[in-house]
Amino acid sequence: MDRLPKIAVPVIFGIIVIFLLFSNAFVNIGAGEAGVLWKRFSGGVVTDEPPLGEGFHIVAPWNKVYVYEVRRQEIFEKMKVLSSNGLDIQLDASAWYMPKAEELGKLHQKIGDSYLDRILLPTIRSAARSVVGRYTPEQLYSSKRDAIQREIFEETKKIVDNQYIILDEILVRDVTLPPTIKEAIERKLKQEQESLEYEFRLEKAEKEAQRQRIEAQGKADANRILSASLTDKILQDKGIEATLQLSQSPNAKVVVVGSSGDGLPLILGNN
């Protein structure tokens, strides 16, 4: 340094300062990201203009750009909640979310880049406690998971929609009950299933017996009606009709009228 001209030291120092200042002027925003511009001397966070899009940008070195991911993101959460009768339930859920890109400046100004921990997660936890508290362990275990998922989503969305956050979906991945409660519910469900199967077999047997009674009654009624309608006169008429039809056939035969005991014709064929 002693060998350098006296002017060289301040020049080098000035170059370093300029480089440091202007290095902040070059901003590169990656895919799926957007930038919020903060102006040091003219109003702070820019909220009345669209955020900076993907690509290379040059800004004043005294300003600053805060980069946010604006693609859909997923967060996983394990929660301890209480059922309607006060039992501990573990709920595993995930949420699909993203910041509202067109209002990114307002999000940064009023909430900040930690909006996930400040707004979204506390709201999901509160909604989950409220919703699960309406149901019994039996309902949580068996038939109400879809309803719980929908209600948690709806209650969370009401709040975060006004906080510059888009909530796409909340998925309930698993509901874990205390082991003793789970075993008791499974035994109860098994007994109910066996009872339903027994009732089904009884109902099937009763329907089969009823079908047989109806069928037998129908046959008896038909026989009774037929017996009442078959008089001697009708039988003779039917016999005469049959005799006439047989007499018209080409086969050789002899018809003796009035020879049988019931007064019907007697037919003697060549066979």
Q: What is the pLDDT of residues 50-83, one digit of tens each?
A: 999 999 998 888 899 999 999 999 999 999 888 8
- The superfamily (CATH) of domain 73-182 is Band 7 domain (3.30.479.30)
Long-range interactions of 107-112: CB distance < 8 A, separation 24+: 107/68, 107/163, 107/164, 107/165, 108/36, 108/45, 108/66, 108/68, 109/44, 109/45, 109/47, 110/164, 111/163, 111/164
Q: What is the pLDDT of residues 131-160, one digit of tens each?
A: 998 888 878 777 678 889 999 999 999 999
Q: Is the pTM of this model over 0.85?
A: no
Long-range interactions of 41-49: CB distance < 8 A, separation 24+: 44/109, 45/105, 45/108, 45/109, 46/105, 47/105, 47/106, 47/109, 48/105, 49/105
Domain residue ranges of the chain, discontinuous segments joined by +:
8-69, 73-182, 232-269
242 has a pLDDT exceeding 70: no
